[in-house]
Structures are given as structure tokens and as C-alpha cells.
Amino acid sequence: MDLEDLKSDYKKGETDNVRTTECLKKMKQSGNHPVLRSIKKQLIFESIVWTILLVVYYDFFDGQLKSIVWNGLLIVSILLLLIHNILGYILVKNPIFGENIKESLQKYLTKIKKFSTLSILSRVLAVTILLGFLVSNIVWELHKILLFAGLLLFSIGIQIYFLRRVWNKRIGLIENKLNSF
């Protein structure tokens, strides 16, 4: 290989690195990272769906026939889910918590573990309240109670299983990165 070819390759590598660094800076400053964009899209979609549910639940799900307690619980649980989604986005958007990468990852891992527990509990609570709201005017007999209890426990178990799998995968990725240091 010729010396001029080496110099040319070296200069080409420098310009590629500059572009990459500029691109990274732009992503960091504007919150324009592809993962953040997908999380933002999910947040917006879920917020729209939950907001539509809040707007139409009174007419579509006979909210006027339900007790004020169930109406209040439903509204509070949906508002808490929306707040939870926003907090999750903020947590993911600002992952730097330390002086160096390893310290930052350790702190981020601790925060993600706490947030995963909160996430699972909030989703399970919200779905349980939603199901309770939907069946609150049923005249209960023993077979209905047993059927509902079984379905409720099954839905809670399924939620916990799948949400735990998702969070364990996310936490595992961060732990692997941390262990590679």
C-alpha cells in the first residue's frame, strides 16, 4: 500500500468520525434518538387511547350507573398510568447520572429496577380497577364470583409474566453492558 493511500484513508476516517460525533451531538441535544422517538410514539399512542377511554367511559360503559367510587378509581388509575408513562419517558431520556459511564450505568440500573416494579404494579392495578369497574353492577352469585376471581387472577398472572419478561430483558441488557466494563 502506498503512503498516499494511507493518508487518504486516514483523512477519510477523520471526516467520518466528525460526522458521527456531530450526528450523536444532534441526537443528544434534540432528543432525536430513534429509541426515544419510538418511546415517544408509544407514549403518545397510549395517552390518546387512555384519554379516549376517559372521555367515553361514562356513555360507553354506563359510568352513570356505577358508583362514584368506581368512577373515581377509574379516573385516578388512568391518570396515574399517564403520569407513569411520562415519568418513564423522562427516565429513559436522561440516562446520565454519574461522573463516568460505569457509575452512570450502575445508577441507571438501580433506577430502572425500581421503575420496573412500579411499572408492573401500576399496570396490574389499572387493569384490575378497569375490570372491577366493568363488572361493578353485576348481581353476584357464587359461580359468577368464582369465574370472575379465576379470570382476574389469570389476567393478573399473564400481565405479570409478560411485563416481567420485558423488564428482565431490558435490565439484562444494561447488566451485560455494566459487566463488560
Count of domains for the chain: 1
Q: For 16-60, what is each residue's pLDDT tens digit? A: 445 456 655 555 554 556 667 777 788 888 889 888 988 888 888
Q: Which residue did the predictor score with more confidence, 165 or 86?
A: 165
In a domain, 16, yes or no: no
The answer to whether the Cα torsion of 120, 75, 82, 60 is positive or negative is positive
DSSP state of 64: G
Among the listed residues 96, 84, 95, the one whose alpha carbon sits nearest the alpha carbon of residue 42: 84
Cell of 181: 466494563
In a domain, 152, yes or no: yes
Distance CA 102, CA 29 (A): 22
Residue 26 resides in a domain: no
The cell numbers describing 88, all together, are 418513564
pLDDT at 68: 92
pLDDT tens digits, 65-94? 888 999 999 999 888 888 888 888 888 777
154 lies in some domain: yes
Asked whether the beta carbons of 130 and 70 are under 8 A apart, the reply is no
Is position 171 within any domain? yes
Answer yes or no: is 32 within a domain: no
Kindly state whether residue 15 falls inside one of the protein's structural domains. Answer: no
Please report whether residue 40 resides in a domain: no
The residue segments making up the domain with residue 150 are: 48-179
- Phi first, then psi, for residue 6 (nearest 5°) are -65, -45
